[in-house]
Amino acid sequence: MHVDSTTHRGPSLRAIATLALGLLSLAGLSACSDDDTSNSNNQVDASVEDAQTKQDGDITDSRPRSDALPDGDIDGSVGCDPGDRTQTPHHRAMITTSSYGNGGGLSVVTLDPLAASADVAQVPEDAVTRWFDHKLWVLGRYNADNLTILDGQNFSLVTQFSVGVGTNPQDIACTSTCRCYVSKFDAAKMTIVDPTAQPGTEIVGSIDLAGLADNDGLPEMSYLYLDGAQLIVAIERLNHNDPNMAPSGDGALAVIDTTTDTIVDADPNQSGVQAITLPYQNPVSPILAVTGAHKVAVACAASWQAEDCGGIAVVDLDAMTAESAVTCSDLGGVVTDFTLDGQGCGFAVVMNPQTYATSVKHFCLDGSNIDSCITEGTFDQITDAALTSEGDLLVTDGSYSTPGIRVFHPGDCSEITTDVLATGFAPGFADPILLVP
């Protein structure tokens, strides 16, 4: 089960730039559109940093990517609307794109019929998107540090504000329309925001995660997953004093009780408050639910080197324990992203740590059925793969001349698209595909 490459492409400048940007920020709510997604009057420039300079306070005020905000009700804050979390069935995909130096954009791919509308809005070149309450939430990460909320149909601006200058936000998850949690790569505190508050007062609290940090004092928070009233936070523990941001501690998942905004102790037998220790360092992918069990899965890159390249871990949220599911050796490279079906299997985006060339592998979480789907070098810089609610597999193609999205049958990995669905700029490094209604 594979797609053969007619010519093998070596590592490109785009691949190197992509990896560099990913290492700087290392860490995705989505928008949909009606038929007319090319109206330039609806474009919003979210790349300009908000002038607000308010930082996280010291007080604590008293979720697939689509998976960070799953379908179903989650208790919201008292007096706040819990918001609509419906994301299925999928009818569209929002694609975050990046020029890796000259800005970024949002493009829409409709799934039936397959069609693409490029650059429906402008966003920071390092951004993740989430879908919540019929809106597109765009989190500008490195050098942007803001949250932009757009209307999910016409992409008009709802609000935009800073989430803390210089803090490099990574992901956002909301327990209600007026209470959202923002993880930070360059800060020790998670920020709590109220998007409905008056301008300048949106930051309403913080949660100190310094106790989970490595020696540089920063835990390097990345992706979030909302599990009922519990917020799961990926902790990368990288050395900020190392130019290569090498791991300096065990990768972990912290559990936060959003009813009290306190960290849940994953191991009461140890002194202090503990996170769930992962079997690998450096969790870099979104956190995905495992169907049929109260478990999640996350991919870890470790040091990104062949001899220490991590794998996919499965975490039992009841027992608060983690175990290795699939190793990087099993898959033949570093797993940078992955998607799961409802049967405990899925597809992993795999990067060759020597050449940066990428491929897609089929796998199951029990370690079985590992097979090639898209062979290394077939497409330039694959950064994401996602399974729609109809069962089709979307894969990014970072080709320099015609970047975009391709669609495949997951059974035999044959391509459905006859040509790339062009997205303007290339799909970004950080979880660029967001599937929405």
pLDDT, tens digit, for every residue of 184-206?
Answer: 999 999 999 999 999 999 999 99
Question: What is the CATH code of the structural domain delimited by 13-50+63-436?
Answer: 2.130.10.10
What's this model's pTM, rounded to 2 decimal places?
A: 0.85
pLDDT tens digit string along 407-426?
Answer: 999 999 999 999 999 999 99
How confident is the model at residue 434, as a pLDDT? 98
pLDDT tens digit string along 336-391?
Answer: 999 999 999 999 999 999 999 999 999 999 999 999 999 999 999 999 999 999 99
Q: Does residue 165 have a pLDDT over 50?
A: yes
Q: Does residue 234 have a pLDDT over 90?
A: yes
Q: Does residue 158 have a pLDDT over 60?
A: yes
How confident is the model at residue 287, as a pLDDT? 98
Rounded to whole angstroms, how far apart are CA atoms 239 and 250?
12
Do residues 127 and 105 lie in contact, with contact meaning Cβ atoms separated by under 8 Å? no
Which parts of 75-178 are beta strand (E)? 92-98, 104-111, 114-123, 127-132, 135-140, 146-151, 157-162, 169-176
Q: Does residue 258 have a pLDDT over 50?
A: yes
Q: Is 17 helix (H, G, I), strand (E, B) or coil?
A: helix
Burial (Cβ within 10 Å: 0-12, 13-18, ≥19) of residue 114: middle
pLDDT range class, residue 33, cuts 50, 70, 90:
very low
Q: Does residue 334 have a pLDDT over 90?
A: yes
Share of the chain above pLDDT 70, in %: 82
Residue given tokens 């190793």 in the structure block = 327
- Furthest CA-CA distance within the chain: 60
Going by C-alpha positions, the residue among 12, 26, 13 that lies closest to residue 281 is: 26
1-5, 230-234, 412-416, range with the lowest pLDDT: 1-5
Beta-carbon contacts of residue 159 (< 8 Å; ≥ 6 apart): 148, 149, 195
pLDDT range class, residue 79, cuts 50, 70, 90:
low
Average pLDDT of the segment spanning 1-9: 38
Beta-carbon contacts of residue 395 (< 8 Å; ≥ 6 apart): 360, 374, 379, 382, 384, 385, 405, 406, 407, 408
Rounded to whole angstroms, how far apart are CA atoms 157 and 151?
6
